[in-house]
Structure 1
Amino acid sequence: MIASETFLNAFLALPEGTFIGHTNGRRYVVSRTVFGAGKSHKLVAHELGGPGYISMNLYLTQHSGALLRPCEMPAEKVVLFVTNLIPDTDI
């Protein structure tokens, strides 16, 4: 799936590394890792005290644009999670 500009902007605004964030009243431990000089990104999120889980890869290609590759879940679930995720400012 080609990632929308809205998704891409929201994703790239997230901090690199591991952080706590919230969406839809739930808190998550989120890890965002960058590979290949910024051309490949991975995000994994685990809900604190719950079963929620998100996993995805994002590839920034020269010819096809930003390619979103969710890991065994619908792309819509990943898009909603990333576009609504707010990193906590206090831990």
Structure 2
Amino acid sequence: MTGTELQAFLAAFDALPAGAFTGLANGRKYAVIRQDLAAGKAQKLVAHELGGSDYISLNLYRLASGARLKPCEMPAEAVIRFVLDLKVME
């Protein structure tokens, strides 16, 4: 991931609300939970597609050396695309 891609991903991730919400990504509706852990040094996002089988899970670590994305059993590209496309539903 380039520096520009990382900054776009972090901006999109940081714009998401903490806690549980419903979102729309790639034309599909998801139940999403975003948590801040370890005083904000670690963050977790889990999304389950409503009415479908898609599942997204990632951990994001905010280290002094920079942000580190750790997807859970899926390619980093998949979680990056998901977060960049995710829109919170009212």
Please name the residue that 1:69 is paired with: 70
28, 33, 37: which one pairs with 1:31? 33
1: CA distance, partners of 2:71 / 2:23? 19
Aligned partner letter, 1:56 = L
Highest RCO, 1 vs 2 (Cα 8 Å, sep ≥ 6) = 1
Higher relative helix content: 2
- In angstroms, what is the RMSD of aligned CA positions? 1.4
Asked whether 1:51 is paired with 2:35, we answer: no
2: CA distance, partners of 1:82 / 1:24? 10
List 4+ stretches of structure 1 deviating above 2 A: none
Please name the residue that 1:81 is paired with: 82
2: CA distance, partners of 1:24 / 1:12? 19
If the length of structure 1 is used for normalisation, what is the TM-score? 0.92
Unaligned runs of 5+ in 1: none
If the length of structure 2 is used for normalisation, what is the TM-score? 0.93
